[in-house]
Amino acid sequence: MCTERYIHPFTDFGFKRLFGNEHHKEFMIDFLNSLLEDEEPIKDITYMPTEQLSRITGERNAIFDVYCTTEKGQHFIVEMQNAYQPYFADRSIFYATFPMHEIAQKGDWNFNLPRIYTVSFLNFNMPEFEDLPDAKHVVKLTDIDTKKVFSNKLTLIFLEMKKFTKDIDELENNFEKWLYVIKNMNQLDSFPDRLKSKLLERFFKAAEIFAFNASERRAYEGSLKAMRDYNNTMRAGIDEGYETGFSLGKEEGLAEGREEGRAEGRAELLRQFKEAGMSVEDIAKYTKLSVDVVEDMLR
């Protein structure tokens, strides 16, 4: 049973309740404005269907955590990713193509795209940024020689939450307040007065578990258990992979063992979800793997 006062934003239930809820869209608007501090402020957003279907029969579909558009026509895909996935950068690029195809007009069209953003909260560190200490990474199409942005129509933003280590007394702006709250809220017993924000105070109010009805509480506790089981299984698989690699006594053996451990950890977790009665489609949605990959790993 959950004993914390506030929900864990890293859970599927918690993240969507706080940031993917029409009644709480002020939270998403304020967070996006803090994230894009140098751009014109967003005044309103519209939530879009999170399941995006490919236009080509047989091609892969995509399921987003949160997908919204602004009054200025910007498109935002916002996701919480708990466990490491190989090729996550490629996955982010792939997901950005769905709004592009959705926007594409039939007939005579001049290919004028709106701005598309993917924002990824990561509970792990990406290899691509291993030498960079900051938690926030903004990726755009740029000219290699001039370093100038070639196009501002596609922006990939990665937030490595493990690298954000500031204490509450060290927070310098609204964006850092959001990162602090998202990372630490489930460990707090009350709203910190030092945040001095009416909106964040409402954010904490919306996250109070004791106010949930029975159905909401069951859904949250199921989501929390799934996240913990997934993380524990992945951690056990990685540890086993390290042991296997070290026993081989070679660096290449370590790398191979680590990957084998990750793969076995993922497969074991999927089997546990299946035994618990989850459908293949629900497993795919939670783990953010495709249905085909889930089915292959369950064979």
The three-class DSSP label of residue 76 is: strand
Amino acid type, 156: L
- What pLDDT is attached to residue 55? 45
Amino acid 234: pLDDT? 56
Q: What is the mean pLDDT of residues 267-289?
A: 68
Q: What is the pLDDT of residue 288?
A: 67
Which of 269, 3, 38, 297 minimizes the C-alpha distance to 149? Answer: 38
What is d(CA 116, CA 141) in angstroms, rounded to the nearest whole number?
12
Is the predicted pLDDT of residue 243 greater than 60, yes or no? Answer: no
Instruction: Give the highest mean pLDDT range of 56-65, 103-112, 242-251.
Output: 103-112
Tally the C-alpha atoms within 13 A of residue 148's C-alpha that lie toward its C-beta. Answer: 2
